[in-house]
Amino acid sequence: MVSSTTPHARLPRVRASELVGRGWLNTGGRDVSLADLRGRVVVLDFWTFCCVNCLHVLDELRELEEARRDDLVIVGVHSPKFEHEADPVALAAAVERYEVRHPVLDDPELVTWSAYTARAWPTLVVIDPEGYVVAQMAGEGHASALAALVDELVEEHRAKGTLRSVAAGEGDVYVPPAPASGTLRFPAKAIALPGGNLLVADAGHHSLAELGPDGETLVRRIGSGERGLVDGGPDAARFSEPNGLCLVPTELRAHLDYDVLVADTVNHALRGVRLADGRVTTVAGAGGQFMVGGVENVVLGVVGGGGGGGSAIRSLVPRDLPPDPPRPAATTAPDHSDERRLGPFDPALTHDPLDVKLSSPWDVVWSEALGGFVVAMAGHHTLWAVDGWKLGLLAGTMNEGLEDGPGAEAWFAQPSGLAVGEDGTVWVADAETSAIRRVTGLGGGVAAVPEGVDVSTAVGQGLFDFGHRDGAADQALLQHPLGVATLPDGSVVVADTYNGAIRRYVPPAATPDVSERASAPDLAGSDTSAGQVTTLATGLAEPSDVVVLVDGEPWAPGETTDAGARIDLLVVESAAHRITRVALPATLAGEVLDGGAHRTQRPVTEVVAGELRLDVPFSPAPGQKLDDRYGPSTRLTVSATPPELLLDGAGTGTDLCRALVVNPEVGEGVLHVTAQAASCDVVPLLDDGTPDPDVFPACHLAQQDWGVPVRVVSEPASAPGHAGSDDPVGQGDRVLTLPLRG
């Protein structure tokens, strides 16, 4: 079958559909039409605020938007996945939270989404100054291609006289919102400090806030409040939307020279904070985002020098050796110069933490059994292990989904919260599958994808199933949980973020017997609570983390508690910009609620039973070509839910076209398609026709995961699909087209 990659080419000229939705944000209250944007290049960004890939694209677009604001308008089209995201108040908060500085169309019914045949979050659509669609791109990694295409369109339409720059005409349609004030702005996570104060990841202020025991009084701030990656003292250091926090074990603080480890999410880094003076040091992350399948994720050394590379040493903190001596304290972030030699990541190796790119680390927790920190790497759906000297993959395949099994085979979906139980179990709030996962078998020291690690699902059904339903764990439903903690009785408390609730799950092994009652709160009715989910509190504004207090003091797993001890939760109410105290009932029983089940509603694509051709078009950007220096430049993986939906065609290959066979006995399901394409800059030629040896071509990786809901039909439609139609399937030709970039 022929490849679906072509040189840079424009789509057939198709008039762009009007932008239709419930309303607009960031426009000063006015509606915006395509006529208002005529004469400028327009990029539609189809996004949903739960999606970490969409957040990556927002960050990719920032530099382009600022540099070309006179000639370019970016319009966010918010097409929600979860029910909570359809709430206009929640959307307005998300636009502020993520510093979206362009107009946003609220599209809760997916009207504009359907008009542009979007099939994945995120999707970008480029419209030229005359109002015609010229390109569609799905997924991440398109920043360089988009910049090249925008520049090409600007020059073309300037020459034609059809370009209208803001500086030469009317004002910008973007109207910034009024600035907000307050001690906290979209706080993400919190921990209790020695002495009773709280340290809060104040994501909206790009800093850490130390609060008094009341959760309100500001003691000090660590970080300047400006977005960035800068090491140094508390007034000079910079973060970018920090999230997870973890206290370093007392015995390791002197060796590591920091007391708190911070998941600095948008910087794709881990930062160490020394509480004595507030100094911040970057301790993991090579600069930039890890791109799945990329060939520039690990520092192999410096050009002309040695060093770098991976180690086959399996243990990060050997139990029979003392830790290495501490690193010198850095005064600025590490110098990530262009002279570094970069290469692909090998999951079988561990690396220096500063030699590996990370991807949106969202939370971090210390595991005594592991002898290191566990990191929830939300950006590529994995868990990692790290200490001060080595870092490696702990569990996950970098595929997004809900798959249990050995750590090397398990699938996560944006893991965002972590907690450790007294028995060493690591509990994971797996946000995009609305699930709580259990990770066991971490004993024996840290290793790269260690044997014995097992991942199982305690609560959750999959990527598109969510709701607020209590009861038996295998039937209970959550909605995009971001935080998790353990209680003294061994049960698990969940910050059920999009339900605005605190939930409790009692593992079967968590029901204490008579001999254990002296060290755990009284659990009336606990003999019937095992394996159940209940609701402890509702009416909260996007709770994202929980700190457990016992008799007013911070509690940690392993600490004993008296029978009848009072338990309070300090809940990080992110969308309310505050810390809220929730007192738990003495029985911890909670309510049993049923708010119903929901499933993500997207247009269903009809496919004909039998042979179906999958086509994923990809065109390198102007000035780029396919990059086959390290092997095949493209990769395509196909699977289905249920697996029986496909009789043939599942698996991984290098061609972006694939012959599928759809099972006529399966009425409906989801096709899961993952595509990657690598391109590089074209090296200019010298006068003698040879490549310029002083120019090293930059690599660019585009990637996307689609989950396409399909309905199997027996007869094809009378006419094939076409660009701009409501159905991407050319059913007369039995073709399903999912543009990666075309």
Task: Read off the pLDDT band of 93 (50, 70, 90).
Answer: very high
In this prediction the pTM is 0.85
Structural domain includes residue 609: yes
**Predicted pLDDT at 732:** 41
Closest CA to 709 of 599, 613, 603, 598: 603
Distances (CA, A) of 337 to 301, 303, 342: 11, 10, 11
Strand pairing class (605-608; 132-138):
unpaired
> CA 342: distance to chain centroid?
24
Helix (H, G, I), strand (E, B) or coil at 146: helix
Q: Quick one: residue 122, left, alpha or beta (phi over 0 = left, psi -120 to 50 = alpha)? A: beta
The count of other CB atoms within 10 Å of the CB of residue 25 is: 22
Closest CA to 621 of 165, 124, 266: 124
Per the omega criterion (within 30 degrees of 0), is the bond before 642 cis? yes
Are residues 19 and 156 located together in one domain of the fold? yes
Structural domain includes residue 28: yes
The domain boundary residue, chosen from 258, 284, 310? 284
Q: Which domain holds residue 628?
A: 605-685+693-715+731-741
The domain boundary residue, chosen from 284, 301, 331? 284
The count of other CB atoms within 10 Å of the CB of residue 279 is: 21
**Predicted pLDDT at 100:** 96
Are residues 156 and 193 located together in one domain of the fold? no
User: What mean pLDDT comes out for the span 704-728?
Assistant: 63
Are residues 247 and 156 located together in one domain of the fold? no
Are residues 19 and 154 located together in one domain of the fold? yes
Structural domain includes residue 52: yes
Are residues 67 and 150 located together in one domain of the fold? yes
Structural domain includes residue 243: yes
Are residues 37 and 126 located together in one domain of the fold? yes
Are residues 627 and 735 located together in one domain of the fold? yes
Are residues 93 and 150 located together in one domain of the fold? yes
Structural domain includes residue 667: yes
Which structure tokens are listed for 128? 């030229």
Q: Is the pLDDT assigned to residue 430 strictly greater than 90?
A: yes
d(CA 712, CA 715): 9
H/E segment holding residue 250 = helix 250-256
Are residues 75 and 203 located together in one domain of the fold? no
Are residues 149 and 55 located together in one domain of the fold? yes
**Predicted pLDDT at 620:** 85
Task: Read off the pLDDT band of 721 (50, 70, 90).
Answer: very low
Structural domain includes residue 697: yes
Closest CA to 628 of 679, 665, 568, 580: 679
Contact predicate 323/317, CB 8 Å: yes
User: What mean pLDDT comes out for the span 567-583?
Assistant: 96
Which structure tokens are listed for 280? 């911040």
CATH number at residue 133: 3.40.30.10
Edge-first strand listing for the sheet containing 610-615 = 646-648, 657-662, 610-615, 735-737, 729-730
**Predicted pLDDT at 339:** 65
Higher pLDDT pick, 521 / 367 = 367
Q: Which one-letter DSSP state was computed for residue 444?
A: S
Mind giving me the DSSP string for 575-586? GGTEEEEEEPPT
Which structure tokens are listed for 218? 């500001």
Helix (H, G, I), strand (E, B) or coil at 14: strand
Phi, psi of 643 (to 5 degrees): -55, -30
Are residues 131 and 223 located together in one domain of the fold? no
Structural domain includes residue 433: no
H/E segment holding residue 375 = strand 372-377
Which structure tokens are listed for 713? 């039909």
Are residues 125 and 45 located together in one domain of the fold? yes
The domain boundary residue, chosen from 284, 315, 335? 284
Q: Tell me the one-letter amino acid at 700.
A: H
Structural domain includes residue 520: no
Question: Angle of helix 143-160 relative to helix 52-67, nearest 10 degrees?
Answer: 40
What is the number of structural domains in the chain? 3
Task: Read off the pLDDT band of 444 (50, 70, 90).
Answer: low
Helix (H, G, I), strand (E, B) or coil at 492: strand
Per the omega criterion (within 30 degrees of 0), is the bond before 554 cis? no
Which structure tokens are listed for 297? 């994720």
